[in-house]
Amino acid sequence: MNFSLLTKKGNKQQIKTMKIPSSASIAVHTRAQQINSQVEHQQLKKFVLDYEQREEESKREG
């Protein structure tokens, strides 16, 4: 898994790419957060789409 490390010397910023083993705790934790974020995003998307569909149906009926 690749991580980007942001360093700063004076006013100059540098980004260094570091390869971290997938079994490292930081990699496992980061991957779990990414998965949780994706799941939450999908749930929110489904909720919004379902809400819009219910609104359209209620406008047709009303």
pLDDT digits (tens, 9 = 90+) for 32-60: 999 999 999 999 999 999 999 999 988 88
Total-model pTM: 0.66
Measured in Å, how far apart are the chain's first and last C-alpha atoms? 54
Helix (H) / strand (E) containing 18: strand 12-19
Mean pLDDT, rounded, of the chain = 94
Distance (Å, rounded) from C-alpha 18 to C-alpha 23? 15
How many C-beta neighbours within 10 Å does residue 1 have?
14
**pLDDT at residue 32, as a whole number:** 97
* pLDDT of 25 over the 80 cut: yes
**pLDDT at residue 46, as a whole number:** 97
